Amino acid sequence: MNTSQRQSPVELPELDTGLTLVDVGSDLGVTPVQSLLLDRVFAGDGDAYWVDAAGTAQTTRLRELAPDKRYLHRVHVARGFTAYQQTSLLDRLTGDRVTTPSVVVATGIDRLYRDTDVPATHAQDLLVRAIAALARVARVHDVPVVVTRSRADEFTRPLVNAAQTHLQWEDTQFGPRFTDAAGDVETLVYHLSDGWVQTTLAYWQEVLTHRARMHDASVVGEEATSGSV
């Protein structure tokens, strides 16, 4: 992971090709990950693909976050409602119908395998298979793959082992921050000099509007956001 602190006061981690595990505090849910996803859409040429097994793919938040509604046509979503559906979906990511993605996101990858209708040993096999499928996605499309899990425990250890990068998202007194679990690199999303920790929707809208401008991507309703960033 690289950061370029000097380029801009608003930073999001730059994602490398391969698997990136992001652990997010549950109170913010999927918002930081959706922000990473949109950021790639601003920057990249391809569309984003999102497989959700966490029941978090409600589009309301994504719609609110996107600086321009047209981005919603460039984010392709499919939700797994059973462990088996999710398994099929992860395979589908390397199929004919998914072409040149700019980023692939899989939220709550472990969640459905924890359902009691999946026998325990089978669940572990399926999870490992799911991780392998995602690694394959990264390789075939040469893209970053962002993964989240519902719980950090022994069951999801294979995911930690497989991920090239393991980011932890946390709220600090200076603002939200992504920290690389492996080392010293961190990205402070947006330095809030007054010490006021902002984790609201408005905050993320502002971050994303700024990131879109940085990438010369489309932003509508600019007049509606504060110009102070």
Partner 1 sequence: MLTVDFHSSGDVVHWALTDDGVTRTVHSEYTPTLFVGDAVRDLYGRRGGPTPTPPDRDGLSESLTDLQAFLTGQDAVVDIQCEAHRQTFRTAPRPLLRIDAASVDAVRRIAQRVQQFNGPAEYTCYNVDLTPQFRYCLETTTPASPDRSVRSLRTLTLSIPPHKAGPDALSHLTIDGDAAGPTPEATVTAVDRAVRERDPDVIVVSTAKLVPVLFDAADTHDVPNFELGRAPGYTKLAGESTYTSYGQVGHSPARYTIPGRVVIDESNTFFYHEAGLPGCLDLVNRAGLPLEELSWASIGRVLTAMQIRAARDRDVLVPWQAWRPELFKPAATLDAADRGGTTFAPAVGVHENVHELDFASLYPNIIRTRNISPETVCCGCCDTNDVPGLGYSICEADGYLPTVLGPLIDARSRIKDQIEETTDDVERDRLDSASSAIKWILVSCFGYQGFSNAKFGRIECHEAINAFARDILLDAKTALEDAGWRVVHGIVDSIWVTPTKDREQRNLETVAAEISTDTGIELEYECAFDWVTFCPMRNSESGALTRYFGKRRDEALPVSEATLGDAIKTRGIEGRQRSTPTWVEDVQAEALRVFDKTRSPEAVCDVLRRTLTSLRNDDVDPERLVIDNRVSKHIADYTHETLTVAALKRATLNGTGLSPGQTIQYVVVNNNAHGTERVRLSYEDITRYDTDWYANAAIRAVESVLAPIGWREGEIRDYLTGTTDQTLTAYSERTDS
Judged by the rule CB under 8 A, the positions of this chain that interact with partner 1 are: 49-50, 55, 57-60, 62-63, 69, 72-82, 84-89, 91-92, 94-98, 111-112, 114-117, 119, 121-122, 125-126, 129
Q: Which helix (H) or strand (E) holds 137?
A: helix 120-141
Residue 33 Cβ, how far from partner 1 at the closest point, in Å? 14
Q: Which amino acid is at 133?
A: A
By three-state DSSP, how is residue 9 classified? coil
| Dist CA 143 CA 46 (whole Å) | 10
The smaller minimum CB distance to partner 1, of residues 155 and 174, is found at 155
115: exposed, middle or buried (Cβ count in 10 Å: 0-12, 13-18, 19+): exposed
Residue 35 Cβ, how far from partner 1 at the closest point, in Å? 14
Residue 66 DSSP one-character state: -
The smaller minimum CB distance to partner 1, of residues 1 and 145, is found at 145
The smaller minimum CB distance to partner 1, of residues 133 and 167, is found at 133
| Dist CA 90 CA 79 (whole Å) | 11
Residue 136 Cβ, how far from partner 1 at the closest point, in Å? 10
Residue 207 Cβ, how far from partner 1 at the closest point, in Å? 19
The smaller minimum CB distance to partner 1, of residues 41 and 219, is found at 41
Residue 206 Cβ, how far from partner 1 at the closest point, in Å? 21
The smaller minimum CB distance to partner 1, of residues 29 and 185, is found at 29
Q: What is 12-62 written as a DSSP string? A: -PBPPSEEEEEE--TTTTTHHHHHHHHHHHHH-SS-EEEEE-SS---HHHH
